[in-house]
Amino acid sequence: MHLEGCPNSHSTNRRNFIGQLLVAGAGFSIVGCGQKSGSGTADGWIQLFNGRNLDGWTPKIRYSEVGENPADTFRVVDGLLSVVYEPQEYPTFEERFGHLFYEHTYSHYRIRAEYRFVGEQVKGGPGWAIRNSGLMLHGQTPESMTVDQDFPVSIEAQILGGNGTDARSTMNLCTPGTNVVMNGELILAHCTDSSSETYHGDQWVTAEAEVYGNETIRHFVNGTEVLFYEKPQLDERDESAQRLLAAGHPKMISEGTISLQSESHPVQFRKVELKKLG
């Protein structure tokens, strides 16, 4: 996003790419000028989405520069943070995976989002991306991504909707450029299923993740714990992770950005909130 009174984000990104990569490696975020922090509640929850606009959020869609939101893919519709694919703007998906980044980084926190999948997948979207989105945790900054990078290096709490027939868990784990430890074993598989139920149709589901730095991460669905793992870390086999390591980012991940995915299927969020822990 470009706010009035801020420097042009596109030219700044090109001039300062290396510097921003180093900042990402140090675990700090680039915060947009003139933006206000999320509003808090009496019980400590911070509202990351204000229900009116995308203030505090920055899009990064593959093949586009940071801050660009081609086809208004991320937008607010009837008070809902929405991923929308207009047929005239998206005649086919063309692997334009996107992420909407919140302005601050976090280390110890609990994030809670209420989501639902709606409509039909855009033409050309991959089969695995039907009713598929995610909460990207401990991620790199959008400024440190290359223009053609598909996913930020992060820990993905993958959210899935049912196809109406088959069992399909939600709040699974996927690991773009990362690995984790489960039961004392380093997990190299890209995705690991949770123990959740399947949620068919357009029903609202509450997804939560409890994150304690480089220690533990737990996933919850409608209040029930469905997955547990430890020690998030960069995957030295991954090209994007290698770039972060070369810039000085520690292998063990203790903090990072939070982002929401656009993966070719329309999805809506009516609440995204966070509580700091410890």
Tell me the C-alpha distance between 251 and 52, whole Å.
38
Residue 187 has pLDDT above 70, yes or no: yes
Model pLDDT, residue 40: 73
Q: Tokens 């868990």 map to which residue?
A: 169
Taking 90 as the threshold, does the pLDDT of residue 218 lie above it? yes
pLDDT attached to residue 278: 81
Task: Please compute the mean of the pLDDT values over residues 17-33 and round it to a whole number.
Answer: 37
Note the pLDDT of residue 123. 97
Residue 203 predicted with pLDDT over 90: yes
CA distance 169 to 188: 20
Q: Residue 38: what pLDDT? A: 73
Beta strands of 62-199 (E only): which ranges?
Answer: 74-77, 80-83, 98-102, 108-117, 132-139, 155-160, 172-174, 178-182, 185-187, 191-192
| Distance from C-alpha of 251 to C-alpha of 242, rounded to nearest angstrom | 10
Choose among 145, 157, 172, 154: nearest CA to 59: 145
Q: Which residue has the tokens 């801020």?
A: 6
pLDDT exceeds 60 at position 17: no
The overall average pLDDT reported for the chain is: 89
**CA separation for the pair 23, 16 (Å, rounded):** 10
What is the model's pLDDT at position 28?
Answer: 34
Whether 268 has a pLDDT exceeding 70, the answer reads yes
**pLDDT one-digit tens code per residue, 131-181:** 999 999 999 999 999 999 999 999 999 999 999 999 999 999 999 999 999
d(CA 132, CA 263): 7
For residue 111, is pLDDT > 70? Answer: yes
Cα 2 from Cα 63, distance rounded (Å): 18
Q: For the segment 30-72, what is each residue's pLDDT rounded down to a tens digit? A: 333 333 447 677 789 999 999 999 999 999 999 999 999 999 9
Domain boundaries, the chain: 9-276
pLDDT tens digit string along 222-239? 999 999 999 999 999 999
Output the pLDDT for position 43. Answer: 87
Element (H, E) at 271: strand 267-276
The whole-model pTM stands at 0.86
Q: What is the pLDDT of residues 70-84, one digit of tens each?
A: 999 999 999 999 999
pLDDT bin (cut points 50, 70, 90) of residue 2 is very low
Are the CB atoms for 163 and 202 separated by under 8 Å? no
Q: Any alpha helices (H) in 4-138, and if so which ranges?
A: 9-15, 17-26
H/E run at residue 24: helix 17-26
Ranges of H-type helices in 125-247: 239-246
Q: Is the pLDDT of residue 9 over 70?
A: no
In CATH terms, is domain 9-276 a member of 2.60.120.560?
A: yes
